[in-house]
Amino acid sequence: MRQVVLDTETTGLEAEQAGHRVIEVGAVEIVDRKITGRRLQRYMDPERDIDDAAFDVHGLDAEFLTGKPRFREVADEFLAFVEGAEVIIHNAPFDLAFIDYELSLLDRPGASKLIDVCNVTDSLALARRKHPGQKNGLDALCRRYDVDNSARELHGALLDAEILADVYLRMTGGQMSLFGDDEDSGEALGEREVTRLPEDRPAVAVVMASAEEVAVHEAYLDGLDASTENGAVWRRRARRARVEIAAQSRR
């Protein structure tokens, strides 16, 4: 499976409404959950002023960007890099608005929206589902998944894409290590050597609940049934499992 982690920097916060433009794209390729080393970074001359608030974020000014290619000059290279991939963007609606606006300005046939050439996954939406009620900005995710973002004094499209690639692999790879201080606790799933337990190892002891413990548990579930509209979720799932087992036995 080929994925591309993508980020942009822009002249402002609104695209089509205020005519703000993309000034940097950064993209990192992942194949079969491994970062391949293929990257794309392009700075672009927006041919317009950069808002002060945007400059404070990324530090790119008009003097640095003057003479750089325009988006239309790098569009083919950019689209070829992302074509057919699952493109991962943190807060995708923001970046898509700018990219789609740039594509709409191209006076040529072809893709008018990024989703015409690839699928898009919003890693911010994914993080919010995985960590509801918590901070899920890129810096917060770096702290949560122990990803080094010490070089991120200012935002940069390629730097942020590289950081997000590490965060995404850890966020979607399951538990990396039982203990947080293992040397290889940051490796992505699939990059570690598999350790198999010996076949002659002692059997795991199974301790069954006593009759008293079962009675206390059932009394607790009775209380949940009485106090909630849909009843105890454990009992609903147990009933569903019994129905599924019975259905399978009849096949």
Longest CA span, the chain: 80
Q: What angle do CA 126, 131, 134 make, to 5 degrees?
A: 120
Q: Write the DSSP assignment of 116-174 as a string of letters.
A: GTSEEEEHHHHHHHHSTTS--SHHHHHHHTT---TT-SS--HHHHHHHHHHHHHHHHS-
Q: What angle do CA 244, 248, 249 make, to 5 degrees?
A: 120
Q: Angle, nearest 10°, between helix axes 123-130 and 92-104? A: 170
**Spatial contact of 30 and 5, defined as CB atoms under 8 Å apart:** yes
Distance CA 173, CA 211 (A): 40
**Spatial contact of 94 and 137, defined as CB atoms under 8 Å apart:** no
| Catalytically annotated residue among 20, 131, 155, 217 | 155
List the one residue out of 78, 108, 97, 113 whose CA is nearest residue 18. 97
Residue 155: active-site member: yes
| Active-site annotation, residues | 155
